[in-house]
Structures are given as structure tokens and as C-alpha cells.
Chain A
Amino acid sequence: MTRKQRRLYFVLLGMLALGAAVALVLTAISDSLVYFYSPTDIVSQRIPEGRRMRVGGLVEADSVKKDGKTVTFKVTDITNALNVTYAGILPDLFREGQGVVVEGRMEKDGLFHAAEVLAKHDENYMPKEVADALKKSGQWNDGKKK
């Protein structure tokens, strides 16, 4: 084995070992790498009141109610839904059926008090005419593919 070959195997082996180590670490801390929890996580894990966290899902259709400055709506992952109340400026993309991430706390009244509402958008890009045509022909999937 020449020195060049030895160096080649050393680098390849090193990269492999490093990659494996990083993969193991990332798998181990996967839970803290997620940006938000789903409403199902909240329901099943019984997260204590008063802990600040982020919850993500879709704004349930016909659930948005505005009362002065306060907005209440439901964030759903189809299986479970979470009642959210928020007082503040909503992002432009906020609407029913849209993906959102809310950051705040569960309070004793059973409502999730959001301090911040962020809108998520999906990976589909198209002109308005194409979107309209898709809706007309019934091929629109409403962003509910998850």
C-alpha cells in the first residue's frame, strides 16, 4: 500500500466515522431539533401549563373568530385540534386552511395563549391562473397532503 492509498483510506474512514457519529447524535437529540410540536403531541404528552412552546398545524376551516383585537382559532393536524387565542398582528398569509406555527403557553383556561403567530407556506409555486385552473378541474389538494 502506497502512502497515497493509505491517506485515501484514512480520509474515507475518517469521514465515515464522523458521518456515523453525527448521525447518531442527531438521532439522539432529534426531539429538541424539531421547531414545533403538533396538536397531537400536546394532547398525548400532556405538556404542563405555563411552559413556552411552539405548536404547528393548519388553521381549521370556519374556526377563526375575531373579537376586537383578539383572534381565536383552532390549530389542527386533522387528528387533534388546539384552541388558540392571540392578540396582535397576523402575518399576511394567515387564513383558514393555512399552515401556521404559534408560539406561546397553555393557560389554565384551556386555551393556548399565543405570543407570536408565524405563517408557513408550502413548497408549491405557481401563477394565480394555474392555481385557479387546478381548483376548477378539481385537482387542488388544499395543502392537506401531510
Chain B
Amino acid sequence: MHRFANPARFLRLAKVILPYSSGTAVLSLCLGLWFALAASPADYQQGDSVRIMYVHVPAAWMGMFCYVAMAAFSAMALIWKHPLADLLAKATAPVGAAFTFLCLVTGSLWGKPMWGTWWAWDARLTSMLILLFLYLGYMALIDAFDDPERGHKAAAILALVGAVNVPVIKWSVDWWNTLHQPASVVKMGGPAIDSSMLIPLLLMALGFKAYWVSILILRGRAEIAAQKIRVIRMAQIHAASRGE
């Protein structure tokens, strides 16, 4: 792991991975959407409304996955002071926030016809909303300091503290009674979902993950470039002030 903390090595690796991750994202999202919207059967109980699931559930997984990734990068940055880990944590945050938002919006659109309400303050929905606020807080905090080092450190601590929310989201439906139904896929005794619906769901999840890898590479590159520019600017300022 420490070997990959070197920005130069990251850039070389990124160049190799990017075409594959982008290709996987496009391919599995196209295939997944075709299955989800057209080729998969309607649910016995929910009819065609079940198709919202193919966006909602992978988006929720991504919201939690990105947070875990962000917290892990933050921990690496705090403990081993890898310069790259901070940048990758920062690059992941908007992706996670966007997917969490997508999850909340699609969930609301799904909740109205099925449950009869847009929103309910049950444990699952509330903890997911807290996740969105954690992302927004992280993104605000990381840019709130003039010295990026201090911003990264403060935001990394926030990311780690907020990580306790992730298991709460996952098991909220088991610990307390909620309006939201229990887990269908990741649960004891195997998925409670027919394979004709599980396959498009997993395809969409794969597509979202591959999309994250591509975005992480693009944003990571941009962050590395921005940091280089900063270093050059600082050097120029120092040179100029010494020259006077």
C-alpha cells in the first residue's frame, strides 16, 4: 500500500486503469439500465415502480462505500502522512455526496407511491440524511482554511468521526423498527430477491463503482496538478520577495 502512496506511481497506474474503468462503467451502466428499465420483470407487489430500485439501491451502496473509502484515505493521511491520501479523500467526497443525494431523491420518489409519503423520520432515512450532511460538512471544512494542510487535517478527523454513522445506516433496519424494509441483498440466508432482478441490480452497482474509479483518477490527477501549481507559485513568491 505504501508503494502506491507516491504521486508519480499513482499517475502511471492511473493511466493504465482509466480506459478499463471508464469502459466498464459505460458498458455495465448501458447494459444494467437496459435490463433495469426494459428487460427485467415487474415486481409481483410493486409493479413497475420496482425499477426505481435499480438506481436507488446502488446509489445508497455508493453513498456508504465512498464514505468508507474517504474515511480510510483520511486515516492513512493522518497516520502515515501520505500526501496522496488527502487528495484522494478530497476527490471522493463530492462523488459520495452526489450518490447519497441521488439515493435520497429516488427514495423519496419511490416512497410516495409505495408507502404513501415522500419522507419519514425513521432510523434508516434519518441516518442517510446525516450521511449527506457529513459529506457537505467535510467539503466545507476542507476548504475553510487558508493553509490546505490544516484543512485536510480537520476534515480527515471529521471523516473519521462520521464513520460511526455507516454501520448505523447498514443495521438501522435491524436494530429498530422502521418504515424502510430490511436488507434484501446483503443479509443472512442469501438475497431475498429474484435472480432476474438481482443481476441488473449488481450490473448497476458495478457500473457505479467503475464510475467512481474513473472519477477518482481524474479528480486525483487534477488535485496533484493543483498542488504542483501551488508549490511553484509559492516558490516564485519566495524568490520574488528575496530578490527585492
State the main secondary structure of chain B at its contact with A.
Answer: loop
B residues in contact with A117, CB < 8 Å: 116
For residue A47, CB closer than 8 A to chain B, the reply is no
B205 CB to nearest chain A CB (Å): 15
CB atoms of A91 and B123 under 8 A apart? no
CB atoms of A120 and B196 under 8 A apart? no
- The CB with the most chain B CB atoms within 10 A, among A89, A90, A126, A131, is that of A126
B244 CB to nearest chain A CB (Å): 38
CB atoms of B193 and A124 under 8 A apart? yes
For residue B218, CB closer than 8 A to chain A, the reply is no
**Contact of A128 with B160 at beta-carbon distance under 8 Å, contacts A123-B183, A123-B192 already known:** no
> Looking at the complex, which of A18-26, A59-67, A68-76 is the stretch in contact with chain B?
A18-26
Expressed in whole angstroms, the Cα–Cα distance for A120 and B105 within the complex equals 19
Expressed in whole angstroms, the Cα–Cα distance for A4 and B81 within the complex equals 9
CB atoms of A126 and B44 under 8 A apart? yes
> Looking at the complex, which of B22-30, B136-144, B173-181, B233-241 is the stretch in contact with chain A?
B173-181
For residue A121, CB closer than 8 A to chain B, the reply is yes
A-B contacts, CB under 8 A, total = 117
CB atoms of B46 and A93 under 8 A apart? yes
A residues in contact with B187, CB < 8 Å: 123
A residues in contact with B113, CB < 8 Å: 91-92
B residues in contact with A89, CB < 8 Å: 116
Binary flags per residue of B152-196, CB closer than 8 Å to A gives 1, else 0 = 000000001101100010000001111101111001000011101
Contact among A7, A126, A129 for B78, CB-based, below 8 A: A7
A18 CB to nearest chain B CB (Å): 6
State the main secondary structure of chain A at its contact with B.
Answer: mixed
B216 CB to nearest chain A CB (Å): 23
Nearest A residue to B197 via CB reads A125
B178 CB to nearest chain A CB (Å): 5
**Contact of A130 with B168 at beta-carbon distance under 8 Å, contacts A35-B120, A91-B116 already known:** no
Expressed in whole angstroms, the Cα–Cα distance for A123 and B164 within the complex equals 25
CB atoms of A93 and B45 under 8 A apart? yes
CB atoms of A121 and B45 under 8 A apart? yes
For the complex, count residues of A whose C-beta is within 8 A of B: 40
For the complex, count residues of B whose C-beta is within 8 A of A: 42
A residues in contact with B115, CB < 8 Å: 91, 93, 118-121
Contact among B120, B177, B183, B192 for A118, CB-based, below 8 A: B120
Contact among A15, A35, A122, A131 for B176, CB-based, below 8 A: A35
CB atoms of B114 and A122 under 8 A apart? no
CB atoms of A128 and B122 under 8 A apart? no
Report A80-130 residues with CB < 8 Å from chain B CB. Answer: 89-93, 101, 116-130
Contact among B46, B81, B116, B163 for A116, CB-based, below 8 A: B116
Expressed in whole angstroms, the Cα–Cα distance for A89 and B45 within the complex equals 19
A residues in contact with B227, CB < 8 Å: none
For residue B75, CB closer than 8 A to chain A, the reply is yes
A residues in contact with B117, CB < 8 Å: 116, 118
Expressed in whole angstroms, the Cα–Cα distance for A133 and B62 within the complex equals 34
CB atoms of A131 and B44 under 8 A apart? yes
